[in-house]
Structure 1
Amino acid sequence: MVNWARAYDWFFETDRVPELLERLERGDDAGTWAELAHRLVLEADLVSPAGFAALPQLVRLAAHSAEARILSGKILERAAGHHDCDDLLAQCADAIAEFRELLDQHLRSRPSDYLAAFRALLAVEEQYHWAAVLGDFTDDFYAVGCPHCAAEVTIAIGDHGRYSAIRDWHQGDVNRRPLRPAPVDGLSGIGRLMYDTALRDGKDALVDGVLHLFGGAQCPSCGSVFSVADEYASAHRPALR
């Protein structure tokens, strides 16, 4: 049973979110979804206590509602932020496991919102840094620090190429070096999960992008080679409580 007395939303109210959820149980309504999202999450990577309190009910709705899937994903993408609601989040363990299975089945259907669902799956796996930035690899850029000389290196994976470079605001990306995609048998952990899921679902651009993201890059400044994913994750992975 949810203790709504302490689960305030971003208007510091505790009674409006249960009312909105009850309304959505009776049928989808765009205005209701918009208000609920506004009360539960902020674009500044923050989620209200009411967001975690609402998550189990949202997951139940998510099997038949794209809005519920999207909002559940947004809540979990912010779960690593400063919310002081670890106990409320812990109570969502069963709902999160259910959401993972739901997302897996949804991805198998190759839906139009595939990328949003894929990112939500990464959040479920507590890969918050990837959930926040992963694109469709048509125009993806990642800034990483070279672990050997500390140069700021731009990683491009998209229609304009797959390369490492030094970004010059007047000349663009200069001193480009081609990325070195990871061998499939060298993938493990989250990289392997991302690759296997995209391959299973026939998402060729995502498959290729993941191989380059988890591959190697040469620093244009010092010439050393480093792992793109390792360096990005080490700089952006949140410290889990």
Structure 2
Amino acid sequence: MTDWAQVVDAHGAVGRVPLLLDQVERKEAPEAWDELWDRLCLHGETVAVASFAALPRLAALASACTQALELASAIVRGTLRHPDGEALLAGCPNEVDRLRELVDQKLRTRPADYSRLFCDLLALAGQYHWSASLGDFADDFYAVSCPDCEAEVTIAVGNHGCYAAIRDWDQGDIERRPLRPVPAEELGDPGRWMHATADRDGQQRLAEGIRYVFGRAECPACGNVFNIAEAHTTANVRPAP
């Protein structure tokens, strides 16, 4: 049983979140959702201890309430933004599994906001890095360092082309080198199941983009060929607190 008198929300306050949860559960105050978002996922990204404490109740509402599913998923996406986020999330594995199942079911309907939901699914599967960085590959750029010469390399994936380049302030992307996508059958996890999910749902641009991001690039500066996903993860994964 949660002692809400000891659980702070994103504003550092206690006691307000359980009252708001009571209201949305009874469907007596639709406007309470706005305040819940403000207290549990401030600005769509800042989470607190109360955020994780609220997950069981939000998960119980999620199958019949889109707002509950969206808020719960947003909280999970913010796990690494809290120093104790992973430990707090570990306290409700059944709820996370249920939320992941619900999001996966929604993806199968091919909703208009597929890209956002796909990133929710990644977070619920523990892929926080990719949840935060994966786009829809319409106009995506990733900044990495060459593992060999440490040159700053821009990786482009999308309608503009799929290439590695050196970014110049005046000339744009120069010394372009085409990326080398990995064949779908050679993908390893997590790229394998990410690609399989997108392909299952008819999201071909997303599926193809995943093949490129988990493929290889040639450094324009030194010619070294490196794994893009590994380089991007190295550049962006937050060190343990």
TM-score (norm 2): 0.93
Change (3 A) 1:44 1:204: closer
Conserved in 2, the CA contact under 8 Å of 1:152 and 1:166? Answer: yes
2:168 counterpart of 1:168: yes
Spell out, residue by residue over 1:146-205, the C-alpha distance to the aligned partner (whole angstroms, 9 max, x if none). Answer: 001000100111111111111111111111111111111210111001000001001011
- In the alignment, residue 124 of structure 1 is paired with which amino acid? L
Question: Which residue of structure 2 lines up, in the alignment, with residue 64 of structure 1?
Answer: 64
Work out the CA distance in 2 between the residues paired with 1:136 and 1:30: 32
Question: Which residue of structure 2 lines up, in the alignment, with residue 98 of structure 1?
Answer: 98
Change (3 A) 1:75 1:28: farther
2:187 counterpart of 1:187: yes
Question: Which residue of structure 1 lines up, in the alignment, with residue 232 of structure 2?
Answer: 232
Aligned residues: 241
Change (3 A) 1:29 1:169: farther
Please show how residues 13-162 of structure 1 align to structure 2 within 5 Å: 13-27=13-27, 31-43=31-43, 45-84=45-84, 87-162=87-162
- In the alignment, residue 48 of structure 2 is paired with which amino acid? S
Conserved in 2, the CA contact under 8 Å of 1:46 and 1:83? Answer: no
Work out the CA distance in 1 between the residues paired with 2:28 and 2:113: 18
Work out the CA distance in 2 between the residues paired with 1:216 and 1:66: 38
User: Tell me, which stretches of 5 or more residues in structure 2 are unaligned?
Assistant: none
- In the alignment, residue 15 of structure 2 is paired with which amino acid? D
Conserved in 1, the CA contact under 8 Å of 2:165 and 2:177? Answer: yes
Displacement of 1:32 in angstroms is 2.1
Displacement of 1:28 in angstroms is 8.4
User: Tell me, which stretches of 5 or more residues in structure 1 are unaligned?
Assistant: none
Secondary structure, aligned partner of 1:136:
coil
Displacement of 1:18 in angstroms is 0.9
Conserved in 1, the CA contact under 8 Å of 2:80 and 2:86? Answer: no
- In the alignment, residue 134 of structure 2 is paired with which amino acid? L
Aligned alpha-carbon RMSD (Å): 1.9
* Worse-superposed segment, 28-37 or 225-234: 28-37
- In the alignment, residue 35 of structure 1 is paired with which amino acid? E
Identity of aligned residues (%): 48
Spell out, residue by residue over 1:177-234, the C-alpha distance to the aligned partner (whole angstroms, 9 max, x if none). Answer: 1111111121011100100000100101101110111111111101111111111112
Conserved in 1, the CA contact under 8 Å of 2:47 and 2:78? Answer: yes
